[in-house]
Amino acid sequence: MAGSSSFAYSKEAAKKNFISFYELLSIVLNYISPRGDKQLRLRLIGLIVALILSKICAALIPIFYGAAVDALAPLNIEAGISFSMGLLMILIGGYAIARVGETIFAELKEFLFIKFASKAVRLAALNAFDHLHKLSLQFHLDRQTGGTSRSIDRGAKAMTLLLSTGIFEVVPLIVELFFICGVLWVLFGYEFALVTFFTVISYSYFTIKTTEWRIKFRKKMNKADEVAATKVVDSLLNFETVKYFNAEKSECNNYEKALRIYEKAFISSRTSLTIVNIGQGIIVALGLVALLAISGREIQRGSMSVGDFVVVHTYIIQLAMPLQFLGWTYREIRQSVIDLEQMFRLLKQKPDVKDVSNASALKLDKGEIKFENVCFSYGRGKILDQVSFTVQSGHRVALVGPSGSGKSTISRLLFRFYDPQKGKILIDGQDISLVSQDSLRAAIGMVPQDTVMFNASIGYNIGYGRANATIQEIEKVSKLASIDNFINNLPDRYDTLVGERGLKLSGGEKQRVAIARAILKNPVIFLFDEATSALDSRTEKEIQAALNNISYNQTTLVIAHRLSTIVDCDKILVINQGKVEETGTHQELLYADGLYAAMWRRQSRGFLKQN
């Protein structure tokens, strides 16, 4: 059921987040020339001027070249024409200046352009990364880490290619092609222009059609690449599980299957590219032969000189180069669009949970938590059904119950990872759906059951609880979490790397790091999700005492599996099948002889199955 609903969600999201080519182009243009950045816009104007001057110089090169050839033609003494070394030097100088000018202005264009490209790529990748963190928990539960990270990486690279060969190259090249057609028409007649124009149109049409045909191969290759990357990341993240079950060979086989699919898609893509290149070469060759043949005929008739032939030939060469580049550029741009679509589709993905317009910050007074008739479902039956309770300021309230009863869902709702379908959650009388998520989460310190750590130093992971925390503050909270002795005995102390997801640390050590960084956050409300589940009995008592001290007189919500850790709570809520079935202190619930008492007896005998 979960799988089918996830598939339906993904299909609906894909349709909703479709991005057209023109919409994609508009997004890229906004990155290139953001509003309010006058310096960047001045660079854009300078780039356009440099581009125009470069094309003017390029157009003058064949004219100077042809005139110089005519100046070197056999002398016609009877006509009174004699060789002029001064004229030849002027023409050669003009040719050299035009060629050097084209190079200088082209390089100036690239120099001015690099500012646009680097900033646009940085902003696009940063926005995608930032947006991923803003998306709802449901998106991150459905996503594949390897494929998502690869999409951002490919998208950033595609942005560079799209800008460098697309927006600031394709348009000028097309203009140059039609400009050459105009020059040929004016200087040598309509036949040259028509042949050139027909060659350009045929080449462009063939390129567009065959490139569209090749897109399906590119998409298959990208999909296979993402699958292979996802398998690598997933396997490495679950390194220990692979070792536990001697599954190295199975993982390699799965990866090989993914690589074989990618290999097949890559071969198809590359083979289709060969077909495209051959077709383009034939079209260009036919156009060149036709133009040279017409030039030869006109020389025979006497309407063109040898210098004119050189001009036409030079223009043909100058035309063939951008034509070939145009074909490559279109292919790369179209393929870059495919890569960019995936990244920008992430930017178009809307979070399920978002702040209301002009959401105010949470105003904390006492830190009282109140659930009022809260109902919630993940789409497969009710998880919480009319749940109501209050955690008074400075009180410790525990949530206990069978596995799957909805305890962890309550913590997720409190953090606004989800919004309830019905009911309200209040903190100090304020509906948390009406305040900003940042201010809400800043008020709550979380110690999760499963602590996931960054692949950085142990000091960094503890200091993550509060930005700009000093080493003295980190050492202080480490002592409160009873992890200071362990750290001080390490060779690099607080600079010791913990490895991927903290794999170099034991479960208990990771949990104490989580406790330390929660203490460092110094929140108004504490949320402990079985904070001592990975600790031995002796350390558990020490940590429990530390937790009691740091949360003394602070609002604390405890999700517990070990009932021995919550016997001194002010109130215990027994959650069963999404409802609050029992409420009271430890003694009151034992006296009531209900579900809590039965759980206590089973656990006391050591038969309680851990959640």
Q: What is the pLDDT of residues 532-559, one digit of tens each?
A: 665 666 666 766 776 777 677 778 888 8
pLDDT on residue 326: 65
Q: Are strands 525-529 and 555-559 parallel, antiparallel or unpaired?
A: parallel
- Are residues 282 and 419 located together in one domain of the fold? no
d(CA 248, CA 241): 10
Region 146-163: mean pLDDT is: 67
Residue 14 domain-assigned? no
Q: What is the mean pLDDT of the segment spanning 186-205?
A: 82
Quick one: pLDDT at residue 606?
A: 55
pLDDT at 349 over 70: no
SS3 annotation, 151-205: HHHHHHHHHHHHHHHHHCCHHHHHHHHHHHHHHHHHHHCHHHHHHHHHHHHHHHH
Residue 477 and residue 465 in contact, taking contact as beta carbons nearer than 8 Å: yes
Q: End-to-end distance of the chain based on CA atoms, in angstroms? A: 22
In this structure, the answer to whether residues 516 and 532 fall within a common structural domain is: no
DSSP helix/strand/coil, 80: coil
Same domain, 283 and 424: no
CA separation, residue 321 to residues 56, 173, 252, 311, 326 (Å): 17, 10, 46, 16, 8
Q: Identify the residue whose tokens are 């038969």.
A: 607
Q: Whole-angstrom Cα distance, residue 230 to residue 608? A: 37
- Domain assignment of residue 5, yes or no: no
Stretch among 8-22, 89-103, 167-181 having the lowest mean pLDDT:
8-22
Token digits of residue 95: 């040719």
Q: How confident is the model at residue 78 (pLDDT cuts 50, 70, 90)?
A: very low
Task: Clarify whether residues 494 and 571 are in a common domain.
Answer: no
Say if residue 191 is in the same domain as residue 339. yes
Q: 353 in a domain, yes or no?
A: no
Q: Does residue 479 form part of some domain?
A: yes
Structural domain containing residue 551: 369-443+525-606
What are the φ/ψ torsions at residue 491 (nearest 5 degrees)? -60, -40
Residue 22 is predicted with a pLDDT of 65
Same domain flag for 194 and 146: yes
Tell me which of 476, 498, 522 is where a domain ends: 522
CA-to-CA dists, residue 377 to 5, 382, 413, 419, 432, angstroms: 13, 5, 11, 10, 18
Q: What is the pLDDT of residue 192?
A: 83
404 plus 278 within the same structural domain: no
In a domain, residue 154? The reply is: yes
pLDDT (0 to 100) of residue 287: 81
| Residue 407 contacts residue 581 (beta carbons within 8 Å) | no
Indicate whether 511 and 535 sit together in one domain: no
pLDDT of 24 reads 65
pLDDT of residue 246: 76
Please indicate, yes or no, whether the overall pTM of this predicted structure exceeds 0.85: no
- Domain total of the chain: 3
For position 609, what pLDDT does the model report? 43
Q: Are 124 and 228 found together in one domain? A: yes
What's the confidence (pLDDT) of residue 10? 44
In this structure, are 477 and 534 located in the same domain?
no
Eight-class DSSP state of 593: T
Distance, CA of 568 to CA of 571 (rounded, Å): 9
CATH number, domain with residue 459: 3.40.50.300
389 is a domain residue: yes
Q: What is the residue whose two structure tokens read 């997720």?
A: 412
**Does residue 438 sit in the same domain as residue 459?**
no
Instruction: For residue 452, name the pLDDT band (cuts at 50, 70, 90).
Output: confident
Measured in residues, the chain has a length of: 611
User: What is the tens place of the pLDDT at every residue in 276-290?
Assistant: 888 878 887 888 788
CATH number at residue 235: 1.20.1560.10
Q: Is residue 46 situated within a structural domain? A: yes
Domain termination site, one of 500, 522, 544: 522
Token pair belonging to 353: 């949970």
For residues 256 and 117, membership in a common domain is answered with: yes
- Residue 72 inside a domain? The answer is yes
* Span of 130-144, 174-188, 550-564, 583-597 with lowest mean pLDDT: 130-144
Tokens of 375: 């109902």
What does the pLDDT average to over 208-230?
79
| Final residue belonging to a domain, choices 473, 500, 522 | 522
